[in-house]
């Protein structure tokens, strides 16, 4: 496997976690609810993305392969819960 192929595989592996983190970061800001933001944007997005990558790695270890729907369901549940907790705290 070439270096660029490896980078492509890694990028495709973490892409769902990064996109979900971006959506969960942007959605409350588009609503303009008037609530003060407690965390800096880069910190909030980094925590969400890091948690998502950990869930994806856990799914890879548990199931032995990437792309299981249960892993993606756990990703949404973990990042959604963390995003809710960070906004309500």
Give the C-alpha distances (Å, rounded to integers) separating 80 from 6, 28, 44, 51, 83.
29, 12, 12, 10, 5
Rama region for 40: left / alpha / beta (φ>0; ψ in -120 to 50; rest)? beta
> DSSP character for 64?
S
- Mean pLDDT lowest among 8-17, 29-38, 74-83: 29-38
The position carrying tokens 């799914």 is 59
What distance, in Å, lies between the first and last C-alpha atoms of the chain?
A: 45
In the chain, where the domains are located: 14-27+39-88
Q: Is residue 89 pLDDT above 80, yes or no? A: no
Q: Is residue 32 pLDDT above 80, yes or no? A: no
């Amino acid at each position: 496997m070439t270096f660029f192929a490896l980078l492509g595989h890694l990028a495709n592996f973490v892409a769902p976690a990064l996109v979900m983190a971006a959506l969960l970061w942007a959605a409350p800001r588009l609503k303009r609810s008037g609530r003060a933001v407690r965390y800096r944007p880069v910190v909030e997005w980094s925590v969400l993305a890091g948690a998502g990558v950990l869930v994806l790695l856990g799914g890879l270890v548990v199931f032995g392969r990437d792309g299981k729907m249960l892993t993606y369901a756990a990703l949404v549940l973990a990042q959604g819960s963390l995003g809710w907790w960070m906004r309500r705290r």
